[in-house]
Structure 1
């Protein structure tokens, strides 16, 4: 019995030592695994930091937007007075706008009168072939020749052509009356969402000017209208196409389109009022499947500097958007 008991005690001691050995081994393995995991986490963290510190690549769209911004700044610097600019190449998420503000519209306001006319044509209230009386009270000077012509009435189509292509002030005044007056046109401007645009007087109404009433707009308002027109989102087909057709072969190609009009199709409307140092141009420029919209409004400036700056901007935008050197 003593021998058996001694053997049993010895066996129990051996088992205790064995269990203790497994526990130490497991503890060692756990510590080793923990070190490996920590090392992996540190390496992963180092990789993330390295990746985040790497410079981000500039997308072609961002690069183009930057070039447009630089061209706009050069134009505004070269043109005297207060100059605001809007450019949209129709591919970027946002247009590039510089110094947007409410400014004297001059004849650029005639774009909104044109849209009002086609709104009424679409609604069946007016037709292009409809004859409209030309009263003496609406005959004024400035641009256009209707004031000197011996005619008593003209079609809506002819009046629109004179107003847009020739910037005829008399034809514009006749249309304002026929469309229902200044308030009706301002209602259309409001419908278009153009919050900085307002028709406050007829063409060459100097009494209204002396009373502080002038026609105003902004580069953003005009630019957004032209973008929608280029995309046929103003009144839809066929009305937008007819308005674009009116804007081709504009008599005044001395500004944005002066250095590019033989290379692309240009739809534009200029405005000028030298008495107040105003030179404006609003254009859609298309070549193949690519299109960009540019609007420059400049007031309180010097005509020579303003026009030269617009010419250079038009050329630079053409090269940037169509990638020509």
Structure 2
């Protein structure tokens, strides 16, 4: 039995007859039109993935590379989890570029502020860091405490919302801090695979060369996790994962060349049988299309 067949059979056995909650597509998701810079040319081709053999659940996929586009339920709302930290750090960089915050300014925190997965801030005995250092901890280590401090530093969740709306994203929403943002509650803290994928590309175009380089240098690259585990040779990328702890396993990768974005793949999943391996499987099927 090959790896793909073993994955599907094993996950189905784990599922044991359970049925995952499926999010109904949000009616407003069709209201957004892609930014002109990302509109497909007539030569581009779109292919829908068949994921019917995967365990029951909700799978949102949208990707584009080399004139190929791949989708599966691209307009279904799903939780962002820590993928939102890509947007958070980009917001901080934009705020700094506009003179509203200073990346060199220092922020302190108390032991009581530490929450969940916080490998950088928890091990910082001085409980002080610059905003730039919080950006790096948020992007590279997905530090939850750093993310909450950074949300406050940029002006709160409404600032993140204004940022994405300025990039023509009317879908992605930011409602709660870590770690509450991971809890399923209707449309709170959700996005769609297509909206977030296009947003990641828009961010890459909007930031200055210096800020884009900073963002790309902070995000994990080929670390053999999720999408990065099966990216074809010659495809450079940075990516941001997100995990809820109760069925959501996500990843958003930006494909880069010469420090600029040339494509993106966003994979959002929600299933009782969701796992790292299922994200890898979806990514592999996506690359079969994108690199064809």
Asked if structure 1 preserves the Cα contact closer than 8 Å seen for 2:66 and 2:290, the reply is no
State the alpha-carbon separation in 1 of the partners of residues 210 and 257 from structure 2. 21
Q: Which of 20, 27, 46 in structure 2 is aligned with 1:65? A: 46
* Structure with greater proportional strand content: 2
Equivalent pairs counted in the alignment come to 249
State the TM-score, normalizing by the size of structure 2: 0.74
* 1:300 to partner: Cα distance: 3.2
Task: Show the counterpart of 2:89.
Answer: 114
Greater mean alpha carbon deviation, residues 156-165 or residues 141-150: 141-150
Question: Structure 1, unaligned stretches of length 5 or more?
Answer: 1-59
The 5 A counterparts of 1:1-325 are 61=43, 65-66=46-47, 69=48, 72-74=49-51, 77-78=53-54, 80-89=56-65, 91=67, 95-99=69-73, 100-142=75-117, 144-205=119-180, 209=183, 214-229=188-203, 232-249=204-221, 253-260=224-231, 263-275=234-246, 277-286=247-256, 291-304=262-275, 307-323=276-292
When the two chains are superposed, the root-mean-square deviation of aligned CA atoms in Å is 3.0
Q: 1:112 to 1:295 in 2, by over 3 A?
A: same
Larger Rg: 1
State the TM-score, normalizing by the size of structure 1: 0.67
State the alpha-carbon separation in 2 of the partners of residues 282 and 262 from structure 1. 18
Asked if structure 2 preserves the Cα contact closer than 8 Å seen for 1:144 and 1:170, the reply is no
SS of equivalent residue, structure 1 residue 65:
strand
Q: 1:214 to 1:149 in 2, by over 3 A?
A: farther
* 1:262 to partner: Cα distance: 6.3
State the alpha-carbon separation in 2 of the partners of residues 321 and 136 from structure 1. 46
Asked if structure 2 preserves the Cα contact closer than 8 Å seen for 1:141 and 1:147, the reply is no
* 1:281 to partner: Cα distance: 0.4
* Structure with greater proportional helix content: 1
State the alpha-carbon separation in 2 of the partners of residues 210 and 290 from structure 1. 31
Q: 1:292 to 1:309 in 2, by over 3 A?
A: farther
Q: 1:245 to 1:114 in 2, by over 3 A?
A: same
Asked if structure 1 preserves the Cα contact closer than 8 Å seen for 2:201 and 2:261, the reply is no
Q: 1:186 to 1:292 in 2, by over 3 A?
A: closer
Q: Higher relative contact order by CA 8 Å / sep ≥ 6: 1 or 2?
A: 2
* 1:90 to partner: Cα distance: 5.6
Question: Structure 2, unaligned stretches of length 5 or more?
Answer: 1-41
SS of equivalent residue, structure 1 residue 256:
helix
